[in-house]
């Protein structure tokens, strides 16, 4: 029989890829077909994504698969969270979607929580961590600005759902992506009509909630014609990239925590139910939807964003060095010399990240890191210590002991940071797969088309198919002392 392939579209907030994956003899094989940029577009005082360019890249990837005569049996799309597309009465997209990095929401969340609905009530309803760019606050900010597209929107589609709609004509609201919006009530499993009303929206402007692993439609004739493919099913996978990544954690039992490490570092546990209480609100943990009705109880930590942004500023010479070399240079610097809180608001989207880090160090009376290696060391030390802090809170919520931290995603390639993380949190770290989101996407397609059954079968196949590295904790005393210093410094801010 001809090998069956699943076609995964994996869109991150800086770049995207199309990948094909197949399961044969209990192992997963995958191959990247195309890779492309997903740049932020700044114009007219706003920051947008180009949804048409992303669609076009999907068409290109599908065309490549058709030309190679690959037997594609399903297609699935995962993307970053919170952002959405507005569709008008005439079924056409109205403007490109705004990006969550657009500063238009700054201050709006506080205004909403003061004037429209209390923090307590919003958290009680959604269990979602407060971040000013969550869809709810974006919609509020758009209303306050008098956004004309919003006032004419017939439909609102989160990014993976919008692309699925462009491929199939079917309009859905997949549960994991909806859970990033701060409008989904995890208890009812639906968008909350009262919260929608606060931003003058009706429930019927969104599609019906669909569980990950559902076949939602087939390629339209238009797309078949454009790509040369036939009427292939499109699956609603775990549309939120982090949900796809967590589905791909190669754990063998439930005693694990995860760190999905990319531009963001998402640290959490998988729980059977949402955890919504005073403490989870105080620490600003979120309850996002996972596959098989699990909850991803996690917290966003500013991840490789700091490093990626600095690296861009350092220009050609440093970039040519490659990640491994730059990271090795950083390890030669004095440890814990200058520490920052990676989640300080000054690092959200500064004009210059290196200057923002130096300013932070200056304001907290620390030595000011100058060279790329010194700045990298400061970032990695601080990230590992922030992981320790969040891990400490997380442990208190877990109902069973956590034996291991799985690091997945591109950030898991940073072996120094993996070791430092194990040292900081005091339990073993297992790193890999690097391609967590794409693998989770492929696995959900395999489930929808009958190739695998449960989440644990998926995880066993993944564990059997990839290489993983294990890091044991070391240097306890030095890390305990560094953590005290970190707490002192970050409290000053």
Which residues bind to ligand LFR, rule: CB under 6 A? Answer: 12-13, 80-82, 100, 180, 240-242, 264, 266, 300
Locate tokens 């000053």: which residue?
Answer: 492
Query: Minimal distance in Å, beta carbon 347 to ligand LFR?
Result: 15
**Rounded to an integer, what distance in angstroms lies between the CA atom of residue 222 and that of residue 4?**
23
User: Nearer to ligand LFR by C-beta: 12 or 290?
Assistant: 12
User: Nearer to ligand LFR by C-beta: 79 or 168?
Assistant: 79
Query: Minimal distance in Å, beta carbon 324 to ligand LFR?
Result: 23
Q: Residue of minimal CB distance from ligand LFR?
A: 81
What is the sign of the dihedral through the CA atoms of 147, 149, 154 and 157? negative
Active-site hit among 241, 253, 343, 475 = 241
Query: Minimal distance in Å, beta carbon 105 to ligand LFR?
Result: 12
| Backbone phi, psi, residue 283, to 5° | -90, 0
Q: Residue 267 forms beta bridges with which residues? A: 259, 299
C-beta of residue 27 within 8 angstroms of C-beta of residue 461: yes
Query: Minimal distance in Å, beta carbon 80 to ligand LFR?
Result: 4
* Of 131, 118, 253, residue with least CA distance to 194: 118
Query: Minimal distance in Å, beta carbon 204 to ligand LFR?
Result: 25
Query: Minimal distance in Å, beta carbon 202 to ligand LFR?
Result: 24
* Of 317, 426, 429, 334, residue with least CA distance to 380: 334
Residue 64: which residues within 8 A CB-CB, separation 6 or more? 18, 33, 34
Q: What is the DSSP string of 469-485?
A: EEE----HHHHHHHHHH
Left, alpha or beta for 357 (phi > 0: left; psi -120 to 50: alpha)? Answer: alpha
Q: What is the DSSP string of 320-379?
A: HH-HHHHHHHHHTSPTTSS---TT-GGGSS-S-HHHHHHHHHHHTT-----SHHHHHHHH
User: Nearer to ligand LFR by C-beta: 13 or 216?
Assistant: 13
User: Nearer to ligand LFR by C-beta: 182 or 414?
Assistant: 182
Query: Minimal distance in Å, beta carbon 12 to ligand LFR?
Result: 6
Q: What is the DSSP string of 269-320?
A: EEESS---SHHHHHTT-EEEE-GGG-EEEEEEEE-THHHHHHHHHHHHHHHH
Write out the two tokens for 395. Answer: 């442990």
Q: What is the DSSP letter of 14?
A: S
User: Nearer to ligand LFR by C-beta: 181 or 227?
Assistant: 181
User: Nearer to ligand LFR by C-beta: 192 or 288?
Assistant: 288
**Rounded to an integer, what distance in angstroms lies between the CA atom of residue 19 and that of residue 28?**
12
User: Nearer to ligand LFR by C-beta: 199 or 266?
Assistant: 266
**Rounded to an integer, what distance in angstroms lies between the CA atom of residue 133 and that of residue 127?**
16
User: Nearer to ligand LFR by C-beta: 13 or 183?
Assistant: 13
Residue 78 annotated as catalytic: no
Query: Minimal distance in Å, beta carbon 184 to ligand LFR?
Result: 14
Write out the two tokens for 86. Answer: 């507005």
**What are the catalytic residues?**
241
């Amino acid at each position: 029989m001809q090998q069956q392939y699943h076609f995964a579209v994996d869109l991150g907030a800086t770049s995207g890829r199309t990948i094909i994956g197949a399961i044969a003899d209990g192992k997963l094989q995958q191959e990247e077909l195309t890779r492309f940029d997903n740049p932020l577009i700044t114009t007219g005082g706003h920051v947008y994504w180009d949804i048409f360019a992303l669609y076009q890249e999907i068409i290109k990837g599908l065309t490549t698969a058709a030309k190679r005569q690959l037997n594609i049996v399903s297609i699935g799309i995962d993307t970053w969270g919170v952002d959405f597309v507005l569709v008008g009465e005439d079924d056409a997209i109205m403007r490109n979607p705004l990006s969550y990095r657009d500063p238009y929401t700054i201050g709006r969340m506080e205004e909403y929580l003061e004037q429209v609905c209390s923090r307590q009530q919003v958290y009680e309803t959604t269990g979602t961590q407060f971040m000013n760019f969550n869809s709810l606050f974006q919609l509020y900010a758009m209303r306050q600005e008098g956004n004309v597209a919003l006032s004419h929107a017939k439909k609102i589609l989160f990014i993976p759902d919008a692309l699925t709609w462009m491929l199939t004509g079917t309009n859905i609201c997949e549960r994991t992506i909806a859970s990033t919006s701060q409008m989904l009530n995890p208890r009812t499993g639906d968008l909350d009509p009262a919260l929608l009303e606060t931003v003058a929206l009706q429930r019927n402007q969104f599609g019906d909630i669909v569980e990950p692993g559902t076949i939602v439609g087939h390629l339209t004739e238009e797309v078949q014609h454009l790509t040369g493919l036939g009427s292939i099913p499109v699956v609603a996978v775990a549309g939120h990239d982090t949900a796809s990544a967590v589905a791909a954690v190669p754990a063998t039992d439930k005693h694990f925590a995860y760190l999905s490490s990319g531009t963001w570092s998402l640290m959490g546990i998988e729980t059977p139910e949402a955890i919504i209480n005073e403490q989870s609100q105080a620490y600003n943990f979120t309850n996002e939807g996972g596959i098989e009705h699990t909850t991803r109880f996690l917290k966003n930590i500013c991840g490789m964003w700091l490093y990626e942004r600095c690296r861009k500023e350092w220009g050609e010479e440093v970039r040519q060095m490659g990640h491994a070399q730059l990271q090795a240079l950083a390890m030669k610097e004095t440890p814990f010399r200058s520490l920052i809180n990676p989640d300080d608001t000054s690092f959200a989207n500064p004009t210059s990240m290196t200057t923002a880090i130096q300013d932070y160090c200056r304001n907290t009376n620390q030595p000011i890191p100058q060279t790329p290696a010194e700045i990298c060391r400061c970032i990695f030390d601080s990230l590992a210590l922030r992981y320790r802090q969040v891990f400490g809170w997380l442990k208190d919520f877990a109902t069973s002991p956590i034996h291991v931290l799985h690091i997945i995603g591109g950030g898991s390639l940073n072996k120094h940071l993996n070791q430092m993380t194990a040292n900081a949190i005091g339990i073993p770290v297992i790193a890999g797969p690097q391609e967590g989101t794409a693998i989770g996407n492929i696995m959900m397609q395999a489930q929808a088309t009958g190739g695998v059954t449960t989440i644990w079968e998926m995880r066993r196949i993944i564990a059997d198919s990839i290489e993983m590295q294990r890091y044991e904790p070391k240097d306890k005393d030095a890390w305990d002392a560094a953590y005290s210093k970190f707490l002192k410094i970050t409290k000053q801010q």
